[in-house]
Structure 1
């Protein structure tokens, strides 16, 4: 049994990740939350990744869960808590759960709000103003990503094959009184400091009522998403892998039994199961040799709940999460199916396609030696790839784009660097500092260009160049292209080309890591064992992100304006931007070399098989090719490129600009 457990442990490390990989994922998001809370202006929305991605999973097919809340709105549990807030700049909301089922509440608006969607969501009951969850849900469903549909409390949809859920909610800095008994229950798990941290950070309220409650359309559900994340983070790696195994088993086995039952259980039930199993101390030692014993404890608990028709919420046990779904004939059917799996014992895991072969290998080779040492399972390069992947996802936090806001953000980053951070978090902070410096450099230039004062323009230019060079020191190889963009913008074409040439040489090195792709041997030879800041500067390339509100390349202004309705950034594959800039600069110096750069860009866009151009970035890549062709007067080719851009997944929402460009070509 121990050998099989160890084999499954190794397989789950391959599927879910080792403890170090999971730590990289979590720490990247932790530092983002810390930065967000410190630099976000009072009137902005805070964004937080939640769900399985936040917990450290990167399972194929799992969706992305995002929570958003207005920074200047706060929920309080009783009127005495209002003294902690300045009502001149904070909207206060009172939680009133007196008439609601456990885990749900009404939200009474106490002070005026400037947010139109909150104003429109207000309903009057018993001479009080409440925020209706159902109206709020409809109004905010498509704010983050257009054309989303309502799914539970979220706006739901699909971006290039990746499913997402976005939940607009309200935050509360206090732990609900109705959940105080949970604190008393935490004797064995989690540790007191984790409990304190959870209670200190309060909770959220998401826009959905209890279907059997008296005010279903007005009620809000208490969300413990942040608390759950802290609980999952406090698990040891074997417990976390057991949770991963439950999720896997749900998807590959339990939900494959029949059409009638495949929507009854979800991964939240699996999470609840492992929480209770750990807290009830049913298994004294969670270790690789006991992985399957832990899984079996959880499976038996789930089977018991299905039999009884009661799945108690971990924080509010009176809230039965099976109440509206797992009952009657569906409940009986689900119990019988799970009982059939139970009768097979741990052999039921053989029905999981992902781990079957690992179990069989051990059964046929009982003397097989299995190494559960994570340093053997994963190498240094694996961790570097993980960190690059996570740092690519890092969003620049919403801070004021004026120089005052940017200065505050940079100072905040410097303060954070002086606090105790892991090496991964230092990397993320450095990446953010580089982003702030780049934004500030272009803002600084635009601010002083129109002053007419030569000395001011000269000093601003000097400062912008200095900031961009600093940003390149913190960043990776491709970050040098921001300097080239700045030189192009300020008509210094030869200097821009010199930077482009230098970048080309560095990108051509055989050990360069680009996205997940890397020649492991050469990478290890070149930078193995060196500091991460050295690795990222010498051996890592990433795609280029352009803030929609900043003009980097005047030829792309229509696309940036068109894309403003989408996220705050346009993402351009590094080699597409490199050839684009080269083409633009050489047009002023040497038309032959300009045409050569365009030819390279054309070959890249026409023939790339996902190696250098991510599928989601093909819309902007075809667009850029079309712009270059239109500039040279090759209108037929430009028309074809623009039409190709329109057939790609509209990730950047540049269609308005593309249609205008097509019109220009046709009318020429």
Structure 2
């Protein structure tokens, strides 16, 4: 990635191009090495080859010139960059960069099969525009890193002083800005911004991977930072890291500006990872807070829910902090979900009149879809539960498939786990509402105190928990997904129903805490037993129920479990 061959499709009028042609596999290509030699001194006579450039000194000033080709088109390998530009740079800059394509410079990859023929894809003009779109503080951070490279890193040892270059510094700044690792790039945070970039560089050297900003698959360390040299470079960087920001004192240009700050106890600069919280860390924290927001036990009727909605209206009409908005958002979704199931249940119980049933059903569906709009990925399963409850099995399965697709994304935040790089690439810089809908999942909470029947098959468990003053059943989202899939397919296709049960069984039997928390294992074994009992696999069901009894009794469902075991024993005795 990041390199290409140039095939000559039509004769050229330029002598340098004609002279650079080579034939491979019956086709004519322009050789980068020949072209580089021929054009090295095209701008300044007597230049020497340096990378893809012609280099030298003129009037006491060093220069690098590169004769290259312009491409109006960007390679497909660079398309992911556009999708990452949520918060930086601005859309106009993105459009300008995309519109102006890229360049092709005369140098191949040293490890490639066609080093002498390959051309490197260059985004130097795009990088120029990115530097100009930086804030003043971001630009100063870039300058600070260049000084640090020249006066500190390159003075460490002869063996490592050429491994890192200014381009690597520029790349760290680009990634740090785009990944929102520092929420506020301001003069007060200049040294904190430098420290974030330094830690990113340290991580790259440790891994031996420096991803190109436009084509991340292009590892710019591949031919330089590896083996023993990589190890020595990492150890040198780590020694500097252990000194903290005091490592900057080794730079003569910087020392006089910061020494009074570093040695003044009244002026503290935070370099602690726990204090400089990245966007991903912040989102994980917000997710964990939101997932624990309860529906108040007092809300047991539609009248009380109306009062709760009125309370939410009052909050919305007054100024709120970001954290208050997040909590109100979650609280509203829970209220809408409870209302939907309570409304249809009341109409069923009290009237059963077709017109009222129709209106209640439309309202319930609307509220559940609204809750899912500003809820998280797992909130979609409440729609599937409702469809199952109202006998719309195919609609339920359609929602389950959509949910399954979203839960399978590698950037999903669940139980505090997330692929940080994929998450940042997918939703970094977007609003929390968008992140929740696309990349956050919580376990399913089925409240008991409203006496809502979410799934009739779980009524005994809800009743048992309620008798022991347990407010809710907490079902891991992946367990609920397979459970609902099993229930719906039982009405349509027994083969697919069995497949869903097999997936549920594998999950419950073999999960080691990644998808099922230890305290929720009692309800998971219970649900597996219910499904097995429904299919007539009595021995497997007994095994699951007995395992449910041996788990941490977090949900207090032992009464329901023992009753189910007794029912099986009695039915087998009668047979």
In structure 2, the residue matched to 1:638 is 541
Greater displacement, 449-458 / 574-583: 449-458
- Whether the 8 Å CA contact 2:388–2:396 is kept in 1: the answer is yes
Of 486, 489, 508 in structure 1, the residue corresponding to residue 386 of structure 2 is 486
Residues 453-487 of structure 1, C-alpha deviations (whole Å, 9 max, x = no match)? 11111111111111111111120000000000000
Equivalent in 481, 486, 507 of residue 604 of structure 1:
507
2:426 match:
526
Q: Which gives a bigger RCO, structure 1 or 2 (Cα 8 Å, sep 6+)?
A: 1
Map 1:134-283 → 2, pairs under 5 A: none
How far off is 1:398 after superposition? Answer: 3.0
Match of 1:617 in 2: 520
Tell whether 2:298 aligns with 1:399: yes
The count of corresponding residues between Structure 1 and Structure 2 is 310
Q: CA deviation at 1:414?
A: 2.2
| Aligned pairs for 1:130-529 within 5 A | 367-368=246-247, 372-373=270-271, 377-450=276-349, 451-529=351-429
What's the secondary structure of 1:589's corresponding residue? coil
Q: 1:365 to 1:384 in 2, by over 3 A?
A: closer
Distance 1:605 1:363, change over 3 A: closer
- Structure 2 equivalent of residue 136 of structure 1: none
The answer to whether the 8 Å contact 2:470/2:556 transfers is no
Report the secondary structure of 1:571's partner residue: strand
2:94 alignment partner in structure 1: none
Contact preservation (8 Å) 1:399, 1:409: no
Q: For residue 364 of structure 1, report the CA deviation from its aligned partner.
A: 8.4
Q: Does 1:547 align with 2:447?
A: yes
CA distance in 2, matches of 1:561, 1:437: 23
Q: Cα RMSD between the aligned structures? A: 2.2
Deviation per CA, 1:361-403, whole angstroms, max 9, x where unpaired? 9998995568515788321100000111111222222333211
Find the residue that maps to 1:377 and give its secondary structure. coil
**CA distance in structure 1 between the partners assigned to 2:564 and 2:548 by the alignment:** 11
Aligned partners of 1:389 and 1:516 also within 8 Å: yes
Distance 1:366 1:378 in 2: 18
Matched ranges for 1:13-32 at <5 A: none
2:473 partner SS: strand
Deviations 1:137-166 (A, max 9, x none): xxxxxxxxxxxxxxxxxxxxxxxxxxxxxx
Whether 2:457 is the aligned partner of 1:558: answer no
Q: Is the 8 A contact 2:244 2:271 kept in 1?
A: no
- SS of aligned partner of 1:570: strand
Equivalents in 2 of 1:452, 1:515: separation in Å? 41
* CA gap 1:665/1:363 in 2 versus in 1, 3 angstroms: closer
Q: Is the 8 A contact 1:440 1:464 kept in 2?
A: yes
Per-residue deviation, 1:580: 0.3
Which residue in the other structure is 2:151 paired with?
none
Tell me if 1:629 matches 2:532: yes
Change (3 A) 1:662 1:461: same
| 1:651 alignment partner in structure 2 | 554
Inter-partner Cα distance in structure 2 for 1:534 and 1:642: 40
Greater C-alpha radius of gyration: 2
Alpha-carbon contact 1:406-1:436 (below 8 Å) kept:
yes
> For residues 393 and 242 of structure 2, what CA distance do their matches in structure 1 show?
67
Deviation string, structure 1 residues 568-594 (Cα, Å, up to 9, x no partner) = 111000000000000000000000000
Equivalents in 1 of 2:339, 2:524: separation in Å? 26
| Structure 2 residue ranges without an equivalent (≥5) | 1-238, 249-261, 263-268
In 1: Cα distance, 2:376 partner to 2:491 partner: 28
Deviations 1:25-48 (A, max 9, x none): xxxxxxxxxxxxxxxxxxxxxxxx
Q: Once the two structures are superposed, what CA deviation does each residue of 1:489-511 show, in whole Å capped at 9, x if it has no partner?
A: 00110010010011001111111
Question: 8 Å contact 1:566–1:652 — kept in the other structure?
Answer: no
What SS does the corresponding residue of 2:446 show, helix, strand or coil?
strand
Q: For residue 648 of structure 1, report the CA deviation from its aligned partner.
A: 0.4
Which residue of structure 2 lines up, in the alignment, with residue 90 of structure 1? none
Q: How much does 1:420 deviate?
A: 1.6
- 8 Å contact from structure 1 (residues 399, 406) kept in 2: no
Q: 1:308: which partner in 2?
A: none
Q: Which residue of 2 aligns with 1:584?
A: 487
- Separation of aligned partners in 1, 2:381 and 2:440: 14
CA offsets 1:517-537 (integer angstroms, 9 cap, x no match) = 000000000000011111111
